[in-house]
Amino acid sequence: SVLTLARVASGGRCEIVRQVAWRSAAYARLTTEVAALARGWRLERLVVDATGLGGPIAARLAESVGPRVAPFAFTAASKAALGFALIAAIETGRLLLHADDGSPEAAAVRAELADCGGEFTAGGGLRWGNERGHDDHVASLALCLHAAEAAGPGRRATGRSRE
C-alpha cells in the first residue's frame, strides 16, 4: 500500500510532497498510520482504493478521518479515466514529483513509472499498469491527482494583522 501526499499549487498543479509505502502491513497498523498522517498533514481529501480488500480499509479510514475520505472503486472505466488524467497531468506539467532524495519511495515511483505501460481498448478506453511487477506507487499518484483535482484551487495562508 502506498500513500501519496501532495499540495495543490497555483494553476491547479499537483506537487507531490512525499510517498509512504507499507509492505505486508496488518490492516489495523495501516489504517492507524494512514489516519495519523491524514490528521498530521491536515489532508483536505484522501482518496482510498476501496476495491476488494481495500473496502474495509476505506471504511475504517472514513470512520477515523471522517468525510475527507473518498472511497474509489477501480473498474476498467475508472482506471482508464485515472490513466488519461495522469498522462495529461504529466504531459502538461501539472504533476510534479518530489525530488529524488535517494529514498526507497523516490526510487520505486520512478522505476514503476518507467515500467508502466498502456494500450488503448475498444471503445476508446485505456488499460495501463506494469505487467512485470508492481504499480502501487503509480496508482497512488493517480489517486492523489484525482483527490487534488476534486479539492479545488490551492489555498494560500495570508495570516492576520497584528494590529
| pLDDT tens digits, one per residue of 66-101 | 999 999 999 999 999 999 999 999 999 999 999 899
Q: According to the model, what pLDDT value does residue 161 have?
A: 57
Question: In this structure, are residues 27 and 60 in contact, taking their beta carbons and an 8 Å threshold?
Answer: yes
In this structure, the chain runs to a length of 163
How far is 14 from 82, CA to CA, in rounded Å? 14
Q: pTM of the full predicted structure?
A: 0.86
Contact residues for 50 (Cβ-Cβ < 8 A; gap 6+): 57, 58, 59, 71, 72, 73
How far is 130 from 138, CA to CA, in rounded Å? 9
